[in-house]
Amino acid sequence: MRGLEEQSRSAPGSAADHHTEEEEEEEGGEEASLSNELSSDEDFDTDLEQGDDAPYDPTGRRCYLEVCGRLGVVPDSYFLQHMRDSELVMKHRGLGPKGTKALAVPLVTNTSILNLNLRDNWMEGRGGAAIAQMLKENCYITDVDVSHNGLGDEGACAMSRMLKENNTLTHLRLSNNGITDLAADDLTAALVTNSKLQHLDLSHNDLGDAAGHHLRDGLSENTGLRRLDLSWNCIRGRGAVMLANGLAGNIFLRSVDLSFNGLGKEGAVALGQALKENSVLEELDISNNRIPPEGVIRLAVGLRANKTIKSLNVGRNPIQNAGCYGLLKSISDNKDSAVELLDLSDIFVNQDFEDLLESMRDTFPVLVVKRGRKFAAFCRVKSDKTS
């Protein structure tokens, strides 16, 4: 309709004489319009307007085809076939920013889809902004996966703004999107405001020390999150301390994954203090964090006073047998300990550790401990190979 109206308003003349010039102007105008639509709430809303005499389209099929035509993208046949499903899985479809924009428009009024998986579609920041804007309007979708999409800080900030308004979403996965500390402030503001989101995955990004500082405030005031995944980021040093302080004040989180960061001694010490104060956290993964023996000993002090941790993963840290023994001893000394799994994967232990573990069997019958081989056994294997 828009194209026909533009033609009716054009001046008479030979189409061939102006074909190249008009095509170039139309193409440039379309790119500018798309950019504005993805970044402006008002422009986005105009795409959803339909005439009063237009038939009601509960699936959004007609709307999707119209938007695809306007944006110049090929309609996705899989989407057309599964618009009424409760779970829409469209991984690896190569949607790009325009294809994502076209998809987002009919999803605004879709009432069937509850779980939306758009993993690995290279939607970039503009596509992420379109999905975020859609989620401000849609009150049915509860689970969204937009991992591996190159959203960057632009897309992450758009998602953060969405979380301030959305009261339906419970699971959001933003893994592997190149998100940096520049988006940390917006993410924190979202955590302070939103009380519905329960699972947030920010793993495999580029969040660093500044993010740890900002997230401290967000976690201290958040009342909704139950699981937070910050694994495979760059949080270390002072940032790790700030983040641990935030965990100490949170009374809702049940599971936190901080593996593959760089917590080191400082982070472990701060987490030890957090374990003293936190009375709700049940799962903590701090594996692969360059934590030394002296750091984990301080962590063990907090574990001795903790009554809720059920699963603690400290594997693949250079804590040596001394650190392993300290953790196990802290559990042994805590008559109210809830630990069921102590993961010390790939860390060698000696006979003293094994003896202590054996002595705890009756008191802690459900305790499972994963560890590397005994150090003496390792020495024997090495000796056999060299002889």
CATH of the domain at 326: 3.80.10.10
Is residue 324 over pLDDT 60? Answer: yes
Is residue 230 over pLDDT 90? Answer: yes
Residue 373: pLDDT band with limits 50, 70, 90: confident
Residue 3 lies in a domain: no
**Phi, psi for residue 356 in degrees, rounded to 5:** -65, -45
**Six-digit token pair at 257?**
């994954």
pLDDT tens digits for range 57-84:
767 899 999 999 999 999 999 999 999 9
- Contact partners, residue 284, CB within 8 Å, separation at least 6: 255, 256, 258, 271, 275, 309, 311, 312, 313
Its domain, for residue 146, covers: 24-50+57-386
Distance between CA 120 and CA 104 in Å, rounded?
16
What is the pLDDT at residue 59?
A: 73
Average pLDDT over residues 233-261: 96
Judge whether 301 and 272 are in contact, CB under 8 Å: yes
Residue 16 lies in a domain: no
Please count the structural domains in the chain: 1
Residue 130: pLDDT band with limits 50, 70, 90: very high
**Six-digit token pair at 154?**
């632009």
∠278-284-287 over CA atoms, to 5°? 140
Is residue 17 over pLDDT 90? Answer: no
Helix (H) or strand (E) holding 252: none
Residue 5 lies in a domain: no
Is residue 1 over pLDDT 50? Answer: no
What single-letter amino acid sits at 101?
A: K
Is residue 47 over pLDDT 60? Answer: no
Average pLDDT over residues 337-345: 98
Q: Where are the beta strands (DSSP E) in the chain?
A: 87-89, 115-117, 143-145, 171-173, 199-201, 227-229, 255-257, 283-285, 311-313, 341-344, 368-371
Give the number of other CB atoms < 10 A from CB of residue 58.
11
Judge whether 185 and 167 are in contact, CB under 8 Å: no
Residue 181 lies in a domain: yes
Task: Find, among 142, 133, 134, 198, the residue nearest to 168 by Cα.
Answer: 142
What is the pLDDT at residue 3?
A: 39
8-17, 46-55, 193-202, 357-366: range with lowest mean pLDDT: 8-17
CA distances from 296 to 265, 348, 369 (A): 8, 15, 16
pLDDT tens digits for range 27-43:
444 444 434 444 444 44
Is residue 321 over pLDDT 70? Answer: yes
Residue 18 lies in a domain: no
Q: What percent of the chain has pLDDT over 90?
A: 80
Distance between CA 284 and CA 371 in Å, rounded?
17
Average pLDDT, the chain: 87
Q: Which residues pair with 332 in a beta bridge?
A: none
pLDDT tens digits for range 75-121:
999 999 999 999 999 999 999 999 999 999 999 999 999 999 999 99
Distance between CA 296 and CA 344 in Å, rounded?
12
Helix (H) or strand (E) holding 250: none
∠170-267-352 over CA atoms, to 5°? 110
- CB-based burial, 224-261: b 16+ in 10 Å, e otherwise: bbeebbbbbbbbbbebbbbbbbbbbebeebebbbbbbb
Average pLDDT over residues 116-142: 98
What is the pLDDT at residue 374?
A: 65
Unique residue bearing structure tokens 């964090």:
289
Average pLDDT over residues 246-273: 97
What is the pLDDT at residue 384?
A: 47
| In 196-278, alpha helices (H) | 209-221, 237-249, 264-277
What single-letter amino acid sits at 373?
A: R
Task: Find, among 297, 172, 296, 155, the residue nearest to 228 by Cα.
Answer: 172
Residue 7 lies in a domain: no
Q: What percent of the chain has pLDDT over 70?
A: 82
Residue 17 lies in a domain: no
Residue 227 lies in a domain: yes
